[in-house]
Amino acid sequence: MAVVRRVLRWLGVALALVVALGVVIAFIPLSRDGLGVSTPAPLANAAAARSAIAAQVAAERNVKPQCHSRLLQPTRAPRGVIVLVHGVATCPAQMQALAALLVKDGYIVYVPLLPHHGQVGGTGASLNGLTEQDYRRFSDRTVDIARGFRLPVTVLGISAGANVAAWIGLHRKDVDSTIEVSPALGFGHVTTGFMNLFARVPSISFSYGTKLPHRYGGLATQPLAKTFNFGRALIDSAGEQRPAARRTVVVLNEHDQSTSSDLALKLAGRMSSAVHALPAGLKLPDDCIDPLQPGAKVGAVYPLLVSLAEDTTT
């Protein structure tokens, strides 16, 4: 019995040390150094932009056919460029139906693939390795390509894509408008401490959302925490500088409990963004853009998003 008691005592000590270490880690802020650095290098012309997108697609290895970056062009003289940035764990196919409406209205639509997304056989674990700096570089490069068309540029994103849109709105003065739909700033009531902890300990994959042919159907704690940290860096930056874009808009899905509306409103306030809400009564899924999502009501969502993207909202 004495041996058992000693073993239990040492196990208790070890557990206490692990808990104490976790608490310490949780209170150490994640680095946000360099996330506000933008190095614009817009392409010279439309031919260069098309070539860059073709090269981007060619470099997307082991990616599902429907998930490659895509460029859609109208049959008449384009009115502008609209960039659509998909959400976390999905891919450009999420934006296909919305993109078709915008192209029909005369816009060039560019839908780039986020890093670590759209992989054949991909799961939430496929997102491991995604960092805040990946998002920053992606944001800058996306605008560089879109500006090659030498037309006004609008960026609309959802979830992690909304974080990209917000970063662009803060740092790229060569973009006209940005629209952030349900930005990924916090996962429900997950605190900053948990975010700091999850970003540093081994990543844990878990099921989340509906698995679709173009969607992983799962997430992982480490890349999710880094996505949130990138989003929190936007709130910090917005408190220190005015947005570079002419117009910024935040769209809230009031039925979505997976993201923090309080943080989204905080970001909107600091960016002086217009705020629009999709009413809770619509009972929309958290991915309110993809028509393949169970419960999708794109007939209620797309008119608002199209009017915002085309800047025709009164």
For the stretch 169-213, pLDDT in tens is 999 999 999 999 999 998 655 556 666 776 779 999 999 988 899
What integer pLDDT is reported at residue 251 of this predicted model? Answer: 98
pLDDT of 20 > 70? The answer is no
| pLDDT, position 187 | 65
pLDDT score at 237: 93
Measured CA to CA, the distance from residue 162 to residue 210 in angstroms comes to 20
pLDDT of 2: 58
- List CB contacts of 191: < 8 A, sequence separation 6 or more: none
- Count H helices, E strands: the chain? 9, 9
Collect all residues with Cβ–Cβ distance below 8 Å to 313 and sequence separation of at least 6: 276, 304, 307
pLDDT value for 151: 98
Q: What's the average model confidence in pLDDT over 238-267?
A: 94
User: pLDDT: is 209 or 101 the higher one?
Assistant: 101
State the CB neighbour count (10 A cutoff) for residue 289. 29
- pLDDT over threshold 70, residue 22: no
pLDDT digit string, tens, across residues 27-75 = 476 678 899 999 999 999 999 999 999 999 999 999 999 999 999 999 9
Q: Give the span between the Cα atoms of 182 and 188, in whole angstroms.
A: 12
What is the mean predicted confidence (pLDDT) over 75-104? 98
Tell me, what's the pLDDT at 161?
98
**Host H or E run for residue 207:** strand 205-207
C-alpha span between 110 and 155 (Å, rounded): 9
Assigned CATH for 38-309: 3.40.50.1820
For residues 297-301, average pLDDT:
98
Mean pLDDT for the chain overall: 90
Neighbours of 17 (CB within 10 A): 10
3-state secondary structure of 219: strand
Strands lying side by side in the sheet with 70-72? 70-72, 108-111, 81-85, 153-159, 177-183, 247-253, 274-278
- Cα(160)–Cα(219) distance, rounded to whole angstroms? 12
* Mean pLDDT confidence for 270-287: 97
Centroid of chain to Cα 96: 17
Q: Which residue has the higher pLDDT, 53 or 19?
A: 53
Tell me the per-residue pLDDT of 125-182, one tens digit each, with 9 for 90 and over. 999 999 999 999 999 999 999 999 999 999 999 999 999 999 999 999 999 999 999 9
155, amino acid identity: V
Looking at the chain, the whole-number percentage of residues with pLDDT higher than 70 is 87
3's tokens? 């041996």
pTM of this structure = 0.90
Q: What is the mean pLDDT of residues 207-232?
A: 93
Give the per-residue pLDDT at 249: 98
Higher pLDDT, 10 or 42: 42
Q: 9: pLDDT confidence band, cut at 50, 70 and 90?
A: low
CB 183 within 8 A of CB 264: yes
Residue 292's H or E segment, with its range, is: none
